Structure 1
Amino acid sequence: MQSEHRIWFVTGGNGFIGTHLIQDLVARGIEVRALARSDRSAATITELGATPIRGELDRPADWASQLDDVSTFVHLAAAHPPEWRRKVYRRTNEEALRVVVEECVPRDIRFIHISSEAAVMDGTPMVDVDESRPLAIGAKALYPASKAAGEVIVTEACRRGLNGIILRPRFVWGPGDHSLEAVVASIDAGKFKMLGDGKQLTSTTHIDNLLHAIHLAESAGERGEAYFVADEGTIEFGAMAGAMAGALNRELPTDSVSFGAAQTLAKVVEAVWRLPFTSGPPLTLSMVWLLGLTVTVDTTKAARDLGYQPATSRAAGLEALRACYSSTDRTDSL
């Protein structure tokens, strides 16, 4: 549905991608409603210029009435590493998602599900993979398994009338990413270690390029289809991490741990930390796969069906990150 006055509904609006998306939509004159689970989230959403809708994903009575005049629904809310609890992944990435799509099926809404390359990640290197790669249903790492299951939920709903599309960005980055603060803290504390030798190739997706793909997906792309989106070209993971650290006025340490050792350690750590009397692990199998494997994706399908081409180069994104940090001199304001 398209109308002169467009209204978008966003979940995960107070996260890294969500805050950028809301700011962008508001700047375009689009009305935004965003689900808020807490007073703090509601305050953030209000400051961004959107209307907070208090509620929980799995309680549609809290928010479903707000969808009746909505044209586009962007689903960003998800559990992701370093989360290690299977029940949290299932509740958020599968059960809550199922509730959301069921509310959208009977409505005239464009549903844009932000997934991840992790949905097809089985623990082996991914080199120039396209959308024909099978979903990682039942993967040993919890995050990939849950993202694969989530995509199944969306595609099955599309067969029943959901006007849905799936975007799979790889390694989303840019100013405002709170994970950068954790990296800086780790470097400053002398605890940072590179997974592998840093030579593993990776695709990346600057936040501007993901927002560009989301806007294209509002009216382009085939119902029920998934699309990889990424920056132009690939880069060694260590080089990218070093460039991002340099933009934050840090030098990346040379300490590393082999992929095999990290994977073995993560399996042991996850097993121990699942005991009821322990708290979250410092390393998960999902993190090892996401950071330690070669992962490059082919965006040909997105270019063909969405008209997608990267709007921001990696070099320009790094320069903007450097400028943002230099102007504030505070990592917590990135």
Structure 2
Amino acid sequence: MKIAIIGSNGFVGTRLVEHLHLDSPHTAVPIVRQPSSLALPARFAIDWRLADALDSDSLAAALHGCDAVVHAALGDPDQITRMPAVLCAAAARAGLRRIVYLSSASVHGQDIPPGTDEETPLHTRHSLDYNNAKVRAERALFAAARRHSLHVYALRPGVVFGPRSRWITDAAQALRDGVAWLHGDGSGICNTIYIDNLVHAIRLCLEHSDPAATATRAYLVADAETVTWADFHAPVARALEVPAEAIHRVEHLPAFPKSFRQRVDQTLSRPWAQKLLPAFPHKLKQNTKKILATLSTPPPPDAWTIPAAPRPVITEEQALLQQCRWKIPHARATGLLAYHPPVTFAEGMARSLAWLSFARPDLFPEKVTSIK
């Protein structure tokens, strides 16, 4: 099969291109918006194409001749919401019927309520715009799939880690800078999925012999093991030779009130606001953006203040994630797709750290060798 991959320059898309090209009978067809995004995919002699994930005409042309498409493109909340309908319309015009869409377990929130599975009703009352956008995107995806009679799989992975992952580089950088932290004893559930396990799930969706029986559904996918945030940080800290006691323990998490700029951005991301925006003059919108940027710029540091000791950097996303007490199930993926994660968490972390030592040797302690 010819598999089109939208967003093939991203973390998941790059790894999927590698797998399909090097270890499958399929032909990978990377689709990116601009030539500069082909730095990694174009190292292989493969048929790459240019298209905008928000332009149905260019996307339909790029999908021509392919048998299936994987959508792994990123974007802001508005783009995330709009892309599925464009994708389905373009796929239908190109004669494709099978779509694998990369959604996220974040449709259930970062602090996923116990008992959650694919049948749990979704809502758009999350505090993070990304979550609400992913919910709207899934709804648009399934509605468009029914309208165009397509076989659509929406995969909902949790924390996707591996070589090139921000979860690995961010954790290592935080440990090296002395700002890494855990909530309490770090027993919150991390809900990891190693990148090759996610690629395995994607291939199962692409290769299933009876898509009519398995498609037009959402699938939670995760590693087999229950991994805590302490479990996630421990091997990274050992590799960097950072003592466990250097990780800050945070018992009381801060509140995250929305700033004026965040409230404006949240309002503008809503569908009704996006419909109104084209009516406003371009110059007015540009001047408004400049004013908002000025209001949200933090004051410069005081040169006379003695720098304080490193303190943990706590984001709202991370605070919610570390409070999670529910291991997301993948029973549906196992039952309908025969999904069994082929890579253990320990092996996935070992591969990730091996890559990190190559990509970011500055994070690792220098080895002093004696000269005899």
Please report the TM-score for the alignment, with normalisation by the length of structure 1.
0.83
Q: 1:103 to 1:272 in 2, by over 3 A?
A: closer
> Are residue 149 (structure 1) and residue 142 (structure 2) matched?
no
State the 4+ residue runs in structure 1 displaced beyond 6 angstroms. Answer: none
Q: What code does the residue aligned with 1:233 have? A: E
Point out the more displaced range, 157-166 or 192-201: 192-201
Query: Which residue of 2 is the match for residue 83 of structure 1?
Result: none
Q: What code does the residue aligned with 2:157 have? A: P
Query: Which residue of 1 is the match for residue 344 of structure 2?
Result: 313
The correspondence for 2:103, drawn from 115, 128, 152, is 115
Point out the more displaced range, 33-42 or 231-240: 33-42
Q: 1:100 to 1:155 in 2, by over 3 A?
A: same
Cα shift at 1:16: 1.3
Cα shift at 1:240: 1.4
Q: 1:24 to 1:266 in 2, by over 3 A?
A: farther
Q: Which aligned pairs between 1:139-288 and structure 2 lie closer than 5 A?
A: 139-160=126-147, 161-195=149-183, 197-220=185-208, 222-247=214-239, 250-251=242-243, 253-258=246-251, 260-261=253-254, 264-265=255-256, 267-268=258-259, 271=262, 275-277=292-294, 278=296, 285-288=316-319
**SS of the residue aligned with 2:70?**
strand
Structure 1 stretches of 5 or more lacking a match?
A: 1-5, 80-87
Give the distance between the partners of 1:56 and 1:76, measured in 2 at CA. Answer: 13
Q: What code does the residue aligned with 2:116 have? A: V
Cα shift at 1:54: 2.5
Q: 1:65 to 1:196 in 2, by over 3 A?
A: farther
Q: 1:279 to 1:22 in 2, by over 3 A?
A: farther
Give the distance between the partners of 1:94 and 1:217, measured in 2 at CA. Answer: 22
Point out the more displaced range, 171-180 or 252-261: 252-261
Look at both structures and tell me which one has the larger radius of gyration over its CA atoms.
Answer: 2
Cα shift at 1:248: 5.2
Structure 2 stretches of 5 or more lacking a match?
A: 266-291, 299-312, 364-372
Give the distance between the partners of 1:266 and 1:190, measured in 2 at CA. Answer: 26
Q: Is the 8 A contact 1:111 1:164 kept in 2?
A: yes
Query: Which residue of 1 is the match for residue 10 of structure 2?
Result: 15
> Are residue 65 (structure 1) and residue 57 (structure 2) matched?
no
Give the distance between the partners of 1:186 and 1:145, measured in 2 at CA. Answer: 28
Q: What code does the residue aligned with 1:46 have? A: A
Query: Which residue of 2 is the match for residue 82 of structure 1?
Result: none
Count of aligned positions: 314
Please report the TM-score for the alignment, with normalisation by the length of structure 2.
0.75
1:10-55 per-residue CA deviation (whole Å, 9 max, x = no partner) reads 1221111111100000012422222223333122220144433223
Cα shift at 1:237: 1.4
**SS of the residue aligned with 1:34?**
strand
Give the distance between the partners of 1:223 and 1:259, measured in 2 at CA. Answer: 43
Q: Is the 8 A contact 1:37 1:54 kept in 2?
A: yes
The alignment yields a C-alpha RMSD, in angstroms, of 2.8
